[in-house]
């Protein structure tokens, strides 16, 4: 039934829909990612440090346990995609999950930080596995994937989707900046111990719940394809349709690269700040400047999109990120130089990090055009597997490298001198890991061509649907 080539019907006179989204709705949509990153930002950026330096867990145990959890996380992503496609409520199929899972997510996230000290490696591994998976594999997945699928359900107009994504990625750093930049200082103010972490995490989860409710109340699912089949499509058929969508594959890889970026910054930069630059509080400064630059980069994207395509500005940015990270190796132990190169790296990273979800939403329309099957839930959930696989692999590799390099774990209040082998491992992994991420990103973007053909794809789809076809 699906098209065998990318041949377009350019003679269609049917205009693409110009369904508009209000400013309040855009702010509400963006608040969803702010909420997610208040909690997930802390988990991704500081959980490793919390386990090693406040509870005394072996880094290899942490890396292996979190990576093993990613297997289940990937399964939950796929499962959630199927659930979204089958959800039927008066609020839609994606939107209600934001409010259904807000409280469970808050409770399970706090449980992570209640891990007992002084237990065996096996005990720690089991506790981490259970609590981490409850918070991320179950609750976070049931919020974040429906949230991502919500954008293409709010509008089919490409410019409005890009605008939604800009608000999302402009407000997303606010959540990360608040949680990551303020967590360590707040922990030190509240006692610099495990109890302080629990108090700070509780504060973030309460704020996240409020924002998720705001998102739910103001955003609406308005896209209804009347000719879509009423029966559920078999899961195996859905998977086959996904792999016929080459732009889903491209955007999945690109989203995975942003996961590598965040995992490297979140996992290694705290150690880099503490043991290479000599002060762990510097991490808050470096992370804050990256988030601030990403924020302003997201705001600038609508202006750039008037002259350049999403692919082009993302490609130019990726090349700049590579150059900046190579330059960072010139003065690896100089705070001022690392600060400067992070600014330029973040300028380069901003377009892709801002627009990758708009690209993914565009792949929904490409998939419908190519296969005559519309798959918002499956596309965002299956892409989430790639994102979480990338995060998990980064964690396990970093944990293994630190352990092999002789990293010495501590509990709160202890001071240790790390061996030079561990410090060298942190420096090498941080710089070369980031360089690899943005080189791969550049290569994938070279082959991404959807922006050029998207208007004609939408004309073709509108004409089909006017004839009662998919």
The pLDDT, as a whole number, for residue 411 is 63
The pLDDT, as a whole number, for residue 11 is 37
The pLDDT tens digits of the residues spanning 175-197 come to 887 887 789 889 999 999 999 99
Cα(377)–Cα(380) distance, rounded to whole angstroms? 6
The pLDDT, as a whole number, for residue 435 is 97
Sign, Cα dihedral of 336, 340, 341, 343: positive
Q: Token match 């998207």: residue?
A: 454
The pLDDT, as a whole number, for residue 139 is 94
CA proximity to 469, closest of 14, 136, 7, 160? 14
pLDDT at 10 over 50: no
Cα(238)–Cα(240) distance, rounded to whole angstroms? 5
The pLDDT tens digits of the residues spanning 402-417 come to 889 998 877 655 677 8
The pLDDT, as a whole number, for residue 191 is 93
The pLDDT tens digits of the residues spanning 388-397 come to 777 777 877 8
Q: At what angle do helices 335-371 and 158-176 cross, to 10 degrees?
A: 140
pLDDT at 89 over 80: yes
Q: What angle do CA 155, 157, 158 make, to 5 degrees?
A: 120
CA proximity to 448, closest of 347, 349, 344, 358? 358
The pLDDT, as a whole number, for residue 76 is 84
Q: Token match 């005990």: residue?
A: 123
Mean pLDDT of 10-14: 38
Q: At what angle do helices 158-176 and 141-154 cross, to 10 degrees?
A: 150
Cα(79)–Cα(90) distance, rounded to whole angstroms? 22
The pLDDT tens digits of the residues spanning 324-338 come to 999 999 988 899 999
- Residue 38 has a CB neighbour count (10 Å cut-off) of 26
Q: Which CATH architecture has domain 23-221+235-461?
A: Up-down Bundle (1.20)
Which residues fall within 8 angstroms of residue 341, CB to CB, at 6 or more apart?
324, 325, 327, 328
Query: How far is C-alpha 191 from the chain's CA centre?
Result: 31
User: Is this model's pTM higher than 0.75 or not?
Assistant: no
The pLDDT tens digits of the residues spanning 203-235 come to 999 999 999 999 999 998 887 665 555 566 777
CA proximity to 5, closest of 371, 318, 287, 351? 371
Could you give the residue ranges of the DSSP H alpha helices within 177-308?
182-189, 194-218, 235-243, 246-271, 282-305
Task: Check if the beta carbon of residue 28 is closer than 8 Å to that of residue 217.
Answer: yes
The pLDDT, as a whole number, for residue 226 is 58
> What does the DSSP 8-state code read for residue 137?
I
The pLDDT, as a whole number, for residue 5 is 43
The pLDDT tens digits of the residues spanning 15-50 come to 444 467 889 999 999 999 999 989 988 887 788 889
Sign, Cα dihedral of 213, 217, 219, 223: positive
Mean pLDDT of 292-313: 90
> Could you tell me the two tokens for 26?
């855009």
Q: Token match 């980069």: residue?
A: 297
Mean pLDDT of 124-136: 93
- Using a pLDDT cut of 70, give the percent of the chain over it: 93
Domain ranges of the chain: 23-221+235-461
> Could you tell me the two tokens for 16?
């693409």
């Amino acid at each position: 039934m699906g098209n065998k080539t990318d041949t377009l019907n350019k003679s269609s006179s049917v205009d693409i829909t110009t369904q508009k989204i209000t400013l309040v709705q855009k702010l509400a949509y963006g608040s969803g990612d702010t909420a997610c990153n208040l909690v997930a930002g802390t988990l991704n950026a500081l959980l490793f440090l919390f386990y090693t330096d406040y509870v005394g867990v072996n880094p290899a145990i942490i890396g292996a346990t979190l990576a093993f959890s990613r297997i289940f996380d990937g399964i939950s992503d796929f499962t959630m995609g199927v659930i979204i496609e089958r959800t039927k409520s008066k609020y839609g199929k994606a939107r209600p999950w934001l409010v259904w899972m807000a409280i469970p997510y808050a409770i399970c996230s706090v449980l992570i930080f209640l891990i007992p000290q002084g237990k065996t490696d096996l005990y720690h591994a089991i506790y981490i596995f259970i609590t981490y998976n409850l918070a991320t594999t179950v609750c976070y997945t049931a919020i974040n994937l429906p949230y991502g699928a919500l954008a293409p359900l709010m509008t089919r107009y490409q410019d409005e989707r890009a605008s939604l994504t800009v608000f999302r990625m402009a407000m997303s750093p606010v959540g990360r900046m608040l949680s990551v930049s303020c967590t360590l200082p707040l922990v030190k103010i509240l006692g610099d111990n495990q109890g302080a972490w629990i108090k700070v995490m509780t504060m973030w989860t309460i704020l996240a719940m409020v924002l998720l409710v705001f998102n739910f109340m103001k955003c609406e699912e308005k896209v209804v394809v009347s000719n879509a089949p009423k029966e559920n499509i078999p899961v195996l058929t859905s998977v086959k349709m996904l792999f016929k969508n080459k732009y889903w594959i491209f955007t999945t890889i690109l989203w995975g690269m942003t996961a590598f970026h965040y995992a490297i910054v979140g996992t290694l930069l705290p150690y880099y700040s503490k043991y290479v630059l000599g002060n762990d509080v510097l991490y808050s400064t470096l992370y804050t400047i990256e988030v601030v630059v990403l924020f302003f980069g997201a705001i600038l994207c609508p202006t750039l999109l008037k002259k350049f395509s999403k692919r082009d500005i993302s490609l130019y940015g990726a090349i700049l990120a590579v150059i900046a990270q190579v330059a960072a190796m010139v003065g690896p132990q100089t705070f001022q130089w690392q600060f400067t190169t992070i600014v330029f790296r973040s300028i380069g990273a901003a377009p892709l990090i801002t627009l990758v979800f708009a690209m993914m939403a565009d792949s929904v329309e490409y998939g419908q055009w190519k296969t005559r099957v519309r798959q918002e839930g499956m596309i965002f959930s299956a892409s989430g597997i790639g994102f979480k696989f990338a995060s998990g692999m980064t964690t396990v590799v970093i944990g293994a490298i630190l352990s092999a390099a002789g990293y010495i774990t501590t509990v709160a209040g202890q001071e240790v001198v790390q061996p030079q082998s561990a410090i060298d491992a942190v420096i090498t992994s941080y710089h070369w890991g980031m360089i690899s991420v943005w080189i791969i990103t550049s290569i994938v973007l070279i082959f991404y061509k959807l922006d050029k053909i998207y208007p004609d794809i939408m004309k073709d789809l509108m004409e089909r649907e006017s004839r009662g076809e998919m």
